[in-house]
A and B are shown apart, each in its own frame.
Chain A
Amino acid sequence: MNSKLLTDTLKYSQIQLPESGTEITSGYTSDLLSDVMGNALENCALITIQGHKNTVAVASLIGIGAIILCNGRTAPEEMIEAAKEHDIAIYTTEDTQFTASWKLAKLLEHNGELELDLEMKQNI
């Protein structure tokens, strides 16, 4: 699915997005970047609270399509610049990593064609 659906369907705020969006085929949730380097798959969306430029460097090594920053974390300017250079999307959300993982899994399961009842699931 296209990462643009993270904004269109999940209402996640887009911090950085290449023009045509990025392709996402799976998700990986971790705050240890050594673990991300070892286990995340190409074209995944990385769900994390690690908002800094090393996250982009790790993402570019693996070919991660999008970084979703949870708990309202934001990206510093140098992280955004690095993501632009490597065509990686960055989103932020108030959701926890658990909730974001659940929502992304639902979205991927339905190939992006899903109207999530966000209000109802807010407490997850």
Chain B
Amino acid sequence: MKYKVDLHNHSCLSPCASLEMSPSVLVKRAIRKKIDILALTDHNTTKNLPAFAACCANNGITPVFGLEVNTFEEVHVVCLFEKLENAVSFGNYIESTLPAISNDPEVFGDQIIVDEYENILGSVDSLLFSSSSISFFELIPRVLDLGGLVIPAHIDRSRNGAVSQLGFLPDLAYSAVEARYVPCSYETYNNAVITGSDAHIRSSIGSRSFYITGEYKSDFSSLSHALREKNILYR
């Protein structure tokens, strides 16, 4: 079996994402793009994951619950969990490590929490674009210890990637490494290399998905296994 996977997507809660990017829009578009396994990964927060969970359940798409942590070195790392409650509890911890700087929506954009019907429930005050006080080197083992998947994001990008911030990707055991372009031009050691849409607007959803292939189901443990065994296709 072959499943289409996209593990890096933002919603209207990320200040840099379009306001139209509700979890509902994300899920509906992902279905049109025939994505089987989908993650929502807002910057440093998990507060739109409950709506995302409901939308996925209503539409029969396999959810992966995540966030994109900005470490103190300003490296972006996608962190993913199987269970909503584990993701939310880790997300709340990460939010608590952000500096006490309020968002100015005029400058950075809105940070809107919604429900599955796109009703506005509130907004997050801390600037989610900031960096957490957790270091890249602390974050990687911590997420793995919690049973999550940890994936350095867009390592080949000129900002907020492991290579731009740290000089090169540290030789650690990751769940996978995300690159904008494959084959990746940087050393990735023995890690699986995946692509991710990093969608901030509707039209980017599904633009850089990847596939897992093998005797799999559309679920988290199949995804983990496929990444570990590098049973990955790019088209």
Contact = CB atoms under 8 A, between A and B. Distances in A.
Nearest to B166: A54
Q: How large is the interface on A (under 10, 10 to 19, 20 to 34, 35 or more residues)?
A: 10 to 19
B167 A34 contact: yes
A58 interface: yes
A54 B168 CA distance: 8
B165 interface: yes
B165 to A, nearest CB: 6
A37 B136 contact: no
Contact of A33 (B135, B137, B158, B167): B167
Nearest to A38: B167
B73 A36 contact: no
Interface residues of B, number: 12
A50 interface: yes
B224 interface: no
A52 interface: yes
B164 A52 contact: no
Give the interface SS of chain A, mostly helix, strand, loop or mixed.
helix
B167 A36 contact: yes
Nearest to A52: B137
Given A50-B73, A52-B73, A58 B167 contact: yes
Contact of B170 (A34, A54, A76): A54
Nearest to B138: A76
B168 A57 contact: yes
Contacts of A78: 137
A112 to B, nearest CB: 29
Contacts of A54: 166-168, 170
Contact of A34 (B135, B136, B163): B163
Given A52-B135, A54-B170, A34 B73 contact: no
Contacts of A76: 137
Given A54-B166, A76-B137, 4 more contacts: A34-B165, A50-B73, A53-B170, A54-B167
5 contacts: A34-B166, A36-B167, A52-B73, A53-B170, A57-B168
Interface of A: 32-34, 36-37, 50, 52-55, 57-58, 76, 78
